[in-house]
Copies of this chain bind each other. A is one copy, B any other.
Amino acid sequence: MTEKRRRDKPATKAALLESARLRFARDGYDATSVRDVARDAGVDPTLIFRYFGSKKQLFDEATTTPAEEADLLDGPPEEMVARMVSSVVFHDWSRYGGEHPLVAMLRSSALPDVRERIRDEVCHEYVDAFEKLVDGPDAALRAELLSAWLVGMGILRSVVRTPAMSDAQATDLAPYVEAVATSLLGRPMTGVATTD
């Protein structure tokens, strides 16, 4: 990250985005200065304004999830919750400071549009998917209650670093994922995902 780059705008932008992603995730928007980001990237701070316009626009660009991850909707429906748990809790998010981007973004949730982006992502990525699986009444509420569990697990594992959640493996959680998902969705779910 610090090795000298020959003059190369795309590579410099990429380096800035990478540093920004990490800093903003780990320290939040306000605690991160453009000078910090530039120093991490080994780049002159003014390039941030040259390339992104402002600190806020750098933040926006750095924290929009790149939809890089394989779509979690693929695969057997009865494994969906297990797949989501695997993504939120067990995926390697070291590029985001060790937390799921959604969880990291909570640290910048004083910015009103960040709240909105979190809401959109939670709803579209998790609630909507769960809602279709609910068998019974209160589909929206039950889907949100399950989403809340995922968010909470991510937070307890990576932010709060509660002992049992920090040490847990996917197989440890499987039976409880199965039980709670089955209970909340009202249809049989399994706690293990075939793909990671």
Which A residues form the contact surface with B (CB < 8 A)?
A: 26-31, 106-107, 109-110, 115, 118-119, 122-123, 127, 138, 140-145, 147-153, 155-156, 159-165, 168, 172-173, 176, 179-180, 183-184
Is the beta-carbon distance between A153 and B152 smaller than 8 angstroms?
yes
Q: A115 to B160, alpha carbons, bound, how many Å?
A: 6
Is the beta-carbon distance between B164 and A141 smaller than 8 angstroms?
yes
Determine the chain B residues whose CB is within 8 A of the CB of A140 once the complex forms. Answer: 163-164
Give the Cβ gap from A8 to chain B, nearest Cβ, in Å.
Answer: 32
Determine the chain B residues whose CB is within 8 A of the CB of A155 once the complex forms. Answer: 106, 148, 151-152, 155
Cross-interface CB contact of A144 among B28, B156, B179, cutoff 8 Å: B156
Determine the chain B residues whose CB is within 8 A of the CB of A163 once the complex forms. Answer: 123, 140, 144
Q: Taking A30-B30, A183-B180, A184-B176 as contacts, is the C-beta distance between A118 and B148 under 8 angstroms? A: no
Give the Cβ gap from A80 to chain B, nearest Cβ, in Å.
Answer: 17
Determine the chain B residues whose CB is within 8 A of the CB of A119 once the complex forms. Answer: 160-162
Cross-interface CB contact of A30 among B28, B115, B123, cutoff 8 Å: B28
Is the beta-carbon distance between B110 and A28 smaller than 8 angstroms?
yes
Q: A122 to B166, alpha carbons, bound, how many Å?
A: 14
Q: A161 to B117, alpha carbons, bound, how many Å?
A: 11
Which B residue sits closest to A161, measured CB to CB?
A: B119
Is the beta-carbon distance between B168 and A141 smaller than 8 angstroms?
yes
Determine the chain B residues whose CB is within 8 A of the CB of A152 once the complex forms. Answer: 147-153, 155
Determine the chain B residues whose CB is within 8 A of the CB of A145 once the complex forms. Answer: 149, 153, 165, 173, 176, 180
